[in-house]
Amino acid sequence: MQKFILSRKNHITLVSAILIAIGFVSKLGFKNEAIAVWALVTASVLGVAPIAIQAYQALKVKVVSIDVLVTIAVAGAFFIKNFEESAIVTFLFLFGAFLEQRTLNKTRSAIKELTEMAPESALKQMENGEFEEVDVDEVDVGDILLVKTGAKIPVDGTVLSGEGSINEASITGESLPVSKEKGSNVYAGTILDNGTIQIVADRVGEDTTFGKIIELVEEAQDSKSKAERFIDRFSKYYTPAVLVLGIIVWLFSRNLELAITILVLGCPGALVIGVPVSNVAGIGNGARHGVLLKGSEVIGDFSRLDTMVFDKTGTLTVGNPSVAEKEYYGDNIDEALGYLASVERESDHPLAKAVLEEIGETSFSPVKNTEVVKGGGITANVNGHRIAVGNAALMKREGIQLSEKAKTDMYRFEKNGNSLVMTSVDGELKILMGVRDRIRPGVKEDLLRLKRLGVKNLVMLSGDNQGTVDVVSRELGLTEAHGNMLPEDKSAYIKKLIDERGQIVAFVGDGVNDSPSIALADIGIAMGSGTDVAIETSDVVLMNSDFSRLPVALGLAKAIVRNMKQNIFIAIGVVLFLLASVFFSEWMNMSIGMLVHESSILVVILNGMRLLRYKLR
């Protein structure tokens, strides 16, 4: 019976509204007291039924809930035959609960949207080589799947054949399609906009990046911050205190109507709901835009941070060295470039790759008598010419005479943060290239946004040489920059900032090499495209490694905390106003009090929902 009544709460609310309307029309329009009393009594009994059941369930677990206060208040109003008050209070309470549920469901829209993106079926290659549609739960690691235009990628996998463009908005928040070809990684829940591909399943079910995102966002939205835990404890004692206050007022004043009015007005509904709705809406907003905030505790610390520490390579810089500057000396440069490409093709060094990309199409020659000079470079014979490729130390070892122009160019290249790649042919310097990792586009502007959001210290830690680190630091306007640092050095520095300087520190890295520092910092932020380590270790994940999302994430965290404080202020302010009105005004009664009370709950919910539309200005 209890389940039946609770499942029909919305129907009871509608019937109560109709009966109340009948009651007032009969009384005021037709002066028929009998029908009015019958309609209002019936509305009161119907309306209080689900509230009383919820009150009983709360008392069974020794909790004095808001439902208990309202049930006692309605019973008291019924006892003094104030049927108008009892009917209106029950209707407003039920109607308020209905509106709360509707609006709260909207705050969880991000989770709903994500779960709706989850694939349900896949075209799996069977033993006979044909592809058949199966439930996604029937796909195992290693299975070969066919994905056609417009279909969802069912698992995390690798493209075996075919090519196409994939919308990865469910993973990265970016709607721009990403081209995929053989060897490319694809993620469950993303959509193949055009093309046809075959993939091999690498991760399935809950192990996919998409599955982990949903799990993390759900956990984050359900987690409780210090403020929420305090409010839970507060309401646990506050609600019985309101009941005791009502009893005391009745004992001293013998005014039952005043006592039950206090019970209604003292309900802490807006206070209990205000903070969770801010968290849920804010975390949902982040999830839709490729920013995972892993819980309300994280949000609180993140909003207060004063120091942000960055790894250089792959975070502030692109992570792929390229030739930034070059100078040629003498004649036959095309021939020298061919010799350089022939030698570099023998090497797997990152600088060699950058040089080859810069040279592009050229003619290669056989390379003989190759010698790798430790800390210097490489020498070899190409087409009867002695070729040396490396740094200044190798040129000195080879006895290469450098012109004043070459020395000036070398100094300029190094000052600009380049690693030098010098090429000599038969003892004469022919080519000078400066290779460096370029700064991510827009990073300087994003760092300025972080400063405007209150981050006082911007620090860079890198394993690169101090000269290169200083160049990047000057260009970006960082507070501090330290080079020649191993992962353990970075961790020690983070610990020093937290323990000795008392700073609230966020560390931003790629989520793999820097996982110790990410774990040690107050807030670990991973620039990882859904990698396992990034998701597991960090507190905040920027799913598509887009640095511009960092100020958005910080701005969102601050907005969530501001919204929580606003909701707490509104909730406490309304309760104080209502209680003061009872004692110091003539116009306050149960019905008006309940209307204001339910309105305050809707106000804090709607205020929290503003976070669903949050964008960094």
Domain boundary residue among 507, 542, 559? Answer: 559
* 564 in a structural domain: no
Domain boundary residue among 559, 574, 609? Answer: 559
Q: How many helices (H) and strands (E) does the chain have?
A: 23, 20
Please tell me whether residues 323 and 334 are part of one structural domain.
yes
* 95 in a structural domain: no
Please tell me whether residues 483 and 430 are part of one structural domain.
no
65 vs 367: CA distance, rounded Å: 84
pLDDT at 520: 84
CATH code for the domain in which residue 348 is found: 3.40.1110.10
Please tell me whether residues 483 and 541 are part of one structural domain.
yes
With tokens 């039950």, the residue in question is 260
Please tell me whether residues 311 and 361 are part of one structural domain.
no
Angle of helix 226-253 versus helix 66-79 axis, rounded to 10: 20
* 571 in a structural domain: no
Residues 6+ apart with CB under 8 A from 551: 446, 449, 450, 453, 616
Q: Is 311 considered catalytic here?
A: yes
Please tell me whether residues 359 and 373 are part of one structural domain.
yes
CATH code for the domain in which residue 168 is found: 2.70.150.10
Q: Letter for the amino acid at 143?
A: D
Please tell me whether residues 148 and 177 are part of one structural domain.
yes
* 454 in a structural domain: yes
Please tell me whether residues 455 and 513 are part of one structural domain.
yes
Question: 252 is written with which tokens?
Answer: 């001293």
Please tell me whether residues 370 and 392 are part of one structural domain.
yes
pLDDT at 226: 64
Please tell me whether residues 314 and 352 are part of one structural domain.
no
Residues 6+ apart with CB under 8 A from 536: none
Please tell me whether residues 354 and 493 are part of one structural domain.
no
* 408 in a structural domain: yes
* 61 in a structural domain: no
pLDDT digits (tens, 9 = 90+) for 465-502: 677 788 888 889 999 999 877 777 888 899 899 888 88
Q: Which helix (H) or strand (E) holds 260?
A: helix 256-265
**Residues of the chain predicted below pLDDT 70:** 100, 103-117, 169-176, 213-214, 216-232, 235, 269, 319, 348, 350, 375, 465, 510-515, 528-537, 617
Nearest to 591 by CA among 87, 242, 98, 99: 87
278 vs 288: CA distance, rounded Å: 16
Please tell me whether residues 329 and 471 are part of one structural domain.
no
Domain boundary residue among 391, 417, 438? Answer: 438
**For 400, which DSSP code?**
P
Residues 159 and 182: beta-carbon distance below 8 Å = yes
pLDDT at 194: 86
0.85 exceeded by the pTM?
no
* 218 in a structural domain: no
Structural domain range at position 407: 319-438
pLDDT at 591: 80
Nearest to 47 by CA among 19, 2, 13: 13
CATH code for the domain in which residue 456 is found: 3.40.50.1000
* 588 in a structural domain: no
Please tell me whether residues 407 and 494 are part of one structural domain.
no
DSSP string, 151-171: PBP-SEEEEEEEEEEEE-HHH
Q: How many structural domains is the chain composed of?
A: 3
Identified catalytic residue from 311, 409, 437, 446: 311
Question: How far from chain centre, in Å, is Cα 577?
Answer: 37
Report the side by side order of strands in the sheet with 457-461: 291-293, 540-542, 523-526, 505-509, 307-311, 457-461, 480-482
Residues 154 and 135: beta-carbon distance below 8 Å = no
Q: Give the Å distances, CA to CA, from 474 to 371, 470, 478.
A: 38, 6, 7
With tokens 């929420």, the residue in question is 228
